[in-house]
Structure 1
Amino acid sequence: MMRHALTRLTRLCPGLPGLCALALAALAGAAAPAQGQSVIRNAELSARLFEAAEELRDPMLAVAAARLRKSVLAMQIVRTPSRQGPAPVGVVPQTRLLSWQQMLARALEMSDGNETIARLADDVRFAGTKGVASGQVYSISTIAGSGRDSYPPLEYVGGDYAEVYVEAQHKDADLNLFVRDAQGRLVCSDTDVSAIAYCGWRPARSEFFTVEVENRGTVASSYSLITN
């Protein structure tokens, strides 16, 4: 069963080499982060896999995304950004980060009763969780179309790798991410057209950094912000 699943994904790889490599690793059981591997990066990669699964309507990719997302453990906290632009209207905030269970349910929905997908889903469902929650926290907010949120400065330790990730609930949102140092200088940004954005950098010294989230899309959305 696993051999057939991996063979099918391999056939997709000429068109999606990066995502297929992730999916193959996930289904082979290598998705859980080893010590020192980024949990926040896994959140981003699982979201990209899930986006591809939805676009291609491929339940195998959705299963791989779920397996990778299962390694993402973070504690939910409350953070209130200052808002520029209109207030979001008609948006119900999500209660938590998109979960591996939701991804798995979508995979089964797309599979139309395929037994191989059902068995792979069971493998993910009953697999142990190797993620580590220490250091990673996430908050949930809403943002209007063309809106911009600024968060109170976050302190990062010099020499340690710093990460910020945002993930919109609405697939038509276009989130951009900006990180600025205490002097207001831009140290990292992600402005790709996507509902997700990631920034990683290594501060030269311990200081505070400001995180800004911009929605270049026209639709309002709930979104999650993960930091370490």
Structure 2
Amino acid sequence: MKFKIAWLAMAVVLAPNALADQEENIDKESKVAPDSTISNLIVANNLAMKGVEDKDPLLLITSAKLIKLNSVEQKDREKKSEGGTKSTKQERARYDAQTLLEYAEEWSGDNDAYASLIKQVENLSTRGRIGGNAIHSDRVEAGAVDTYVVPFYGREVAEVAVIGDGDTDIDLHIYDHNGNLICEDTDATDTTYCYWVPRFDGDFIITIKNYGSVYNAYDLLTN
């Protein structure tokens, strides 16, 4: 499994997106910048996985802080799945802020500086934009494609990210209601990100393709 350190993760998620020439509902002239919440949560995930692997309290504390400061609303989304085969594997842990802080405390030993940082993060108030950024947790079977239809506002930045469990390569594609490709992230990881500015309100089609031989448990983040 590949782990991205914080600055590499940020560079990846903010890289330019591949856009099709025939898009209809996309404003290429917009100068509106994405919100930082979703990209911060991508960085938090990478820090958490690396922190657990290395038993590094500082990475875990930083990840927990990002999670608490960038909380999102849980939201169930209806999906359509095509193809694929059922599989089993050992479930990977999903890390919330409190769990990360507990690991950090366990691996800090008698380090007073870490203990102080843990206490500071524990006392932080969770904040987020209710009704804005949302997270949906699901799994895509081996070789399958999951499809969601999600509405976005026109003339506002639309963001979609998928954070997988690290076991397979997954690709993200975004289409407008006419089937035109708006954005894609097709690198060899299971952390994907797209953003664009729709010209007008409308539904967009999100597809998540799993190229692995086992299922991938993922979080779908949208704004």
TM-score of the aligned structures, taking structure 2 as reference length:
0.75
Task: Give the equivalent residue in structure 2 for 1:51.
Answer: 49
The structure whose RCO (Cα within 8 Å, separation 6+) is larger is: 2
State which of 204, 207, 215 in structure 1 corresponds to 2:210: 215
Task: Select 2:200's aligned residue among 205, 209, 214.
Answer: 205
**What secondary structure, in the 3-state scheme, does the structure 1 residue paired with 2:113 have?**
helix
Instruction: Report the counterpart of residue 167 of structure 1 in structure 2.
Output: 163
Query: CA RMSD of the aligned region, Å?
Result: 3.1
State the match for 1:134 in structure 2.
Answer: 131
Are the structure 2 counterparts of residues 108 and 67 from structure 1 closer, same or farther at C-alpha, using a change threshold of 3 Å? same
* Structure 1 letter corresponding to 2:215: A
Describe the superposition over 1:113-171 as per-residue Cα deviations: whole angstroms up to 9, x where unpaired: 543323211111112234322312222211122221111x2221211000111122x32
Q: Secondary structure at the match of 1:193?
A: coil
In the aligned structure 2, how far is the partner of 1:107 from the partner of 1:19?
A: 23
Which residue pairs with 2:29 in the alignment? none
TM-score (ref. length: structure 1): 0.73
Paired position in structure 2 for 1:12: none
> Structure 1 48/17 Cα, relative in aligned 2: closer, same or farther at 3 Å?
closer
**Corresponding letter in the other structure for 1:123:** Q
Q: CA 1:93–1:100 in structure 2 vs 1: closer, same or farther (change >3 Å)? A: same
Give yes or no for the alignment of 1:143 onto 2:140: yes
Question: Residue in 2 aligned with 1:181?
Answer: 176
Q: Does the 8 A contact of 2:48 with 2:95 survive in 1?
A: no
Contact 2:87 2:142 in 1 (8 A): no
| Cα shift at 1:174 | 2.3
Aligned residue number for residue 64 of structure 2: 66
Distance (whole Å) between structure 2 residues aligned to residue 55 and residue 94 of structure 1: 12
Structure 1 residues not aligned, in runs of 5+: 1-14, 23-35
Structure 2 unaligned regions, length at least 5: 12-33
Q: Which residue of 2 aligns with 1:6?
A: none
| Amino acid aligned to 2:154 | G
Per-residue CA deviations over 1:152-202 (Å, capped at 9, x if unaligned) read: x2221211000111122x322322211111121211112223232211111
- SS of residue paired to 1:43: helix
More moved, 84-93 vs 185-194: 84-93
Change (3 A) 1:20 1:47: closer
Task: Check 1:144–1:108 CA distance in 2 against 1; reply closer, same or farther (3 A cut).
Answer: farther
Identity level (%): 28
Kindly tell me: are residues 20 and 58 of structure 1, through their superposed partners in 2, closer, same or farther at Cα, counting changes over 3 Å? Answer: farther
Amino acid at match of 1:209: F
Residue pair 2:85, 2:143 contacting (<8 A) in 1 also: no
One-letter code of the match for 1:104?
A: L
Q: CA 1:217/1:37 → structure 2, altered by over 3 Å: closer, same or farther?
A: same
8 Å contact from structure 2 (residues 9, 46) kept in 1: no
* Structure 1 or 2: more helix by fraction: 1
